[in-house]
Amino acid sequence: MTAAPSARGLAAPPEPELDDRVSGSTLYHLAACERRVWLLRHAPGEQAPPGEFDLALMERGRLHEEAVRRRFTGLVGPLWRWGQPLEPAAAETLRLLRESRAPLDQPLLLSADGRRVGVPDFLYWEDGALVVHDAKLAESVDRKPEIALQLTHYARLLEEAGFRVARLEITSGLGEVLDVPRLDDASYDAAIARALELHGAAPEPDLLLAHSTCAECGFYDRCWDRAESEGRIEVLSGVRRNHLPILHGMGIRTIADLAAREPHELEVRGLGRLGPPMVLEARAHRDRRAVWIARPELPAGRPRVWLDLEGDPQDERFGHVIYLWGLGVEETPGAFAAEAILAGPGADGDELGWRRFVERASAVLDEF
């Protein structure tokens, strides 16, 4: 089923999340957050309902999938719909695969033990082997481990049923057909084992991702409200995931622990110059007041010009893209005027925006 990035954690639309079965959706979530897999199984009622943005993305995903569906000739299906029993759909899928060469829409694949299930968007034949094809809103497969894991899952289920798989592919959100690299068997087996643990008696993972990532999840209130009430260091913007083992090794787990240290104590390997500002941020958080990192050495009585920019370091098409430049002038204390310059559309949009920004900034500097 179509995987559509979502602002409230609806990164993949529902597949059969029944009992402790591991589905493609389970693995899609596992690649991003183990805790989310656990919560979907053990505390689904705590997930926030989808908002308007989520619903709009889901509709966009549905329309994209429908557009891909129209590319197939003689398509049979859908063989399974949400809420229908699994076994009859799985049996009909196998029958059609064995008796025909028709492309299939929403086929249902079930493992022999019934613990793994998958619903690829489409299956079609090529030279006696099957191609697994999904419709995705993602614009590329780079840095998308969830897509590779999900489609590898479908391939393994097919092979265990006796079919050869030619390749894995998606139609991207740009309408391009892209090959998806398959995971090795050891990585897939490890993911299945972990998913079964999380669906079973495993404790809730003590995991927080970056705030920008968690803010997109329906379980945000549960995870982040708890973390903030416990004063965990993960809520600080200056603390990154790779810093946590180092800080924990120093006995630092809470904001209070961190604020009690001296800045120089965190000048250690793995933190370096990023360590001391963490202490200052923790103190600002603890005391609810601003803490100077360093005094700005600006001459008194002179106009001040502020320059800033915002970018997307993970743009799927163009890499690290700057899309907004900010410029502000404080000619006299309290007399502050700000303006924004946006990048233009297309591949050269950020360069055009940059040139406009430099031109405007130069004019301001010349004026003062």
Whole-angstrom Cα distance, residue 291 to residue 297? 16
Position 355 in a domain: yes
Position 75 in a domain: yes
Residues 14-26 have pLDDT tens digits of 444 456 799 999 9
Boundaries of domain holding 334: 304-367
* 56 shares its domain with 164: yes
Count of structural domains within the chain: 3
Q: Extract the tokens encoding 15.
A: 């597949």
* 176 shares its domain with 311: no
For 326, the 3-state DSSP assignment is: strand
Position 18 in a domain: no
pLDDT of 360 above 80: yes
* 171 shares its domain with 29: yes
Q: Nearest CA to 132 among 179, 173, 199, 95?
A: 179
Residues 61-92 have pLDDT tens digits of 999 999 999 999 999 989 998 888 899 999 99
* 277 shares its domain with 315: no
Residues 269-291 have pLDDT tens digits of 889 888 999 999 999 999 988 88
Position 225 in a domain: no
CATH of the domain at 280: 1.10.150.20
Position 111 in a domain: yes
Model pLDDT, residue 197: 94
Whole-angstrom Cα distance, residue 256 to residue 179? 49
* 67 shares its domain with 174: yes
Output the DSSP codes for 234-281: GGSTT--GGGHHHHHHTT--BHHHHHTS-GGGG--TTTGGGHHHHHHH
CATH of the domain at 101: 3.90.320
Position 81 in a domain: yes
Q: Extract the tokens encoding 246.
A: 């180092």
Domain-ending residue, one of 152, 177, 199:
199
Whole-angstrom Cα distance, residue 251 to residue 297? 36
pLDDT of 1 above 90: no
Residues 288-347 have pLDDT tens digits of 888 888 777 777 778 888 888 887 655 555 556 777 888 888 887 778 888 888 887 766
* 155 shares its domain with 268: no
* 70 shares its domain with 166: yes
* 34 shares its domain with 89: yes
* 179 shares its domain with 71: yes
* 241 shares its domain with 114: no
Residues 233-245 have pLDDT tens digits of 988 888 888 888 8
Position 247 in a domain: yes
> Does an H or E element contain 130, and which?
strand 129-135
Q: How many helices and strands, by DSSP H and E, does the chain display?
A: 12, 10
* 81 shares its domain with 188: yes
Give the pTM.
0.74
DSSP alpha helices (H): ranges in the chain? Answer: 24-30, 34-42, 52-69, 86-99, 145-160, 185-199, 211-214, 220-229, 244-249, 255-259, 275-287, 349-367
Q: Extract the tokens encoding 174.
A: 């740009």
* 238 shares its domain with 352: no
